[in-house]
Amino acid sequence: MLAKSTQKPSAKQTPGSNQKKANNTAGAHVASPPNAFKSYLNNHLKVSKLSIKDQLERPFASFFTCSVIGIALVLPTLLAILLSNIQSTDIDWDGSAQITLFLKKDTSALDAGVIANQLEKKDNIESSHFVSKQAALIEFKARFAMDSVIDYLDDNPLPHAIIISPSPELANISHIEALKDRLLKIPEVESALLDVLWVQRLQSISSFVEKAIYLVAIMLAIAVLLILGNTIRLAIENRKEEIAVLKLVGGTTPFICRPFIYMGMFFGLGGSIIAIILIHIILAILYGPVEELAASYQSDFDLSGLNFESTLLLLVIGATLGWLGSWLAVRKHLDDIEPT
């Protein structure tokens, strides 16, 4: 009878109550992930605040570390700005390439004008402008102030000329040179001038600077990682006993690494901010001499600096280098500390 009575379901163990209990248990499992995620975020926020507070308590040491990182970031960034200015100038100058056709001396002004009109109707030619030898001589006198020398000449030595502006579709120098070769086949054309040597040199300089930027950026990035690694290593050594206690009470590796990771990221961000300030100061100093140099060449070239996108990119690069350097240092030195 006792065994039989024990098998009877009690009032508290009815199927309905079991179902209700199961639903409550399932609801508890569903509600737990948001609480765990919120706790995870709160922990990150707390650790980041403590890291900032810890760095502010040592302002000089933190400032010097950020300054070293910032100076390391300045050089590749300045080279990148220089390359951007060179490339933008190259586009403007390359688009204004012109071909000057010098006609034979026995070509009359009327025939030269007709040739200029015919060339303007051809493909790959945007415009064609005829310059008579009389107009060329007047312009030569005005530009070089050699009236006294030219007056001794018996005859005008300059030929008629036609200035050709290639179509914008001919952005490649080789295509413009091919057009010049075709124009040389005109019977009345004596010679043609296409000054592209300076463009080729400018492109070579641009390619050299671009490769130099990559090499310098890689070397300085390695230097930043080494600086951050040494800084984090010293911080780990200063907290060696604290880390041992955390390991002893069951602290996980990500939990112990977190303050040092945030420390490296804040150093990287601080270095980026200092680099941005230094770059603006350097560009402000160089703006005047560059403007005078451009004016001497009768150019409206304007030195451009960091825009919003490049500033944001520099901040991201600094934070990423800080995270990577601290992560490498923590993974290397944290395993050496064992609780005793």
pLDDT at residue number 22:
43
pLDDT at residue number 315:
92
DSSP per residue over 134-192, as a string? HHHHHHHHHHH--HHHHTT-SS--PPPEEEEEE-TT--SHHHHHHHHHHHTTSTTEEEE
The phi and psi torsions of 164 (rounded to 5 degrees) equal -105, 130
Where residue 273 falls among pLDDT bands split at 50, 70, 90?
very high
| Angle between the N-to-C axes of helices 240-248 and 253-296, in degrees from 0 to 180, rounded to the nearest 10 | 140
Residue at token pair 């300030």: 277
The least confident of 192-201, 221-230, 249-258 is 192-201
Look at 332 and 132; give whichever has higher pLDDT.
132
Go through the domains of the chain in sequence order and give each one's CATH number: 46-92+200-336 (no CATH), 98-195 (3.30.70.3040)
In whole angstroms, give the CA distance from residue 158 to residue 323.
68
- Residues sharing a CB contact under 8 Å with residue 233, sequence separation 6 or more, in sequence order: 329, 333
Look at 26 and 172; give whichever has higher pLDDT.
172
In whole angstroms, give the CA distance from residue 325 to residue 229.
5
pLDDT at residue number 195:
67
Burial 126-139 (b: 16+ CB within 10 A, else e): eebebbbbeebeee
Look at 170 and 210; give whichever has higher pLDDT.
210
Average pLDDT over residues 70-82: 88
DSSP conformational letter for 215? H
Report the mean per-residue pLDDT for the chain.
77
pLDDT at residue number 317:
92
Where residue 271 falls among pLDDT bands split at 50, 70, 90?
very high
Residue at token pair 């296409």: 194
Average pLDDT over residues 4-19: 44
DSSP conformational letter for 57? T
Helices (H), the chain: 2-6, 15-56, 59-95, 109-120, 133-144, 147-150, 173-183, 197-238, 240-248, 253-296, 308-333
Nearest by Cα to 192 from 183, 201, 202, 205: 183
pLDDT at residue number 274:
94
The least confident of 21-25, 147-151, 266-270 is 21-25
Nearest by Cα to 64 from 261, 242, 230, 285: 230
pLDDT at residue number 313:
92
Where residue 150 falls among pLDDT bands split at 50, 70, 90?
low
In whole angstroms, give the CA distance from residue 219 to residue 89.
28
Check whether 92 has a pLDDT greater than 50: no
- Residues sharing a CB contact under 8 Å with residue 338, sequence separation 6 or more, in sequence order: 244, 247
The pTM assigned to this predicted structure is: 0.60
Predicted confidence (pLDDT) per residue in 22-57, tens digit: 444 444 444 445 577 777 677 778 777 877 777 777
Where residue 151 falls among pLDDT bands split at 50, 70, 90?
low
pLDDT at residue number 27:
45
- Residues sharing a CB contact under 8 Å with residue 225, sequence separation 6 or more, in sequence order: 321, 324, 325, 328
Rounded to 5°, the CA angle 274-275-279 comes to: 120
Check whether 217 has a pLDDT greater than 80: yes
Largest CA distance in the chain: 145
% of the chain surpassing 90 pLDDT: 10
Burial zone of 60 (CB within 10 Å; 0-12 exposed, 13-18 middle, 19+ buried): exposed
Average pLDDT over residues 117-136: 84
pLDDT at residue number 31:
45
In whole angstroms, give the CA distance from residue 253 to residue 247.
8
Where residue 248 falls among pLDDT bands split at 50, 70, 90?
confident
Average pLDDT over residues 321-326: 90
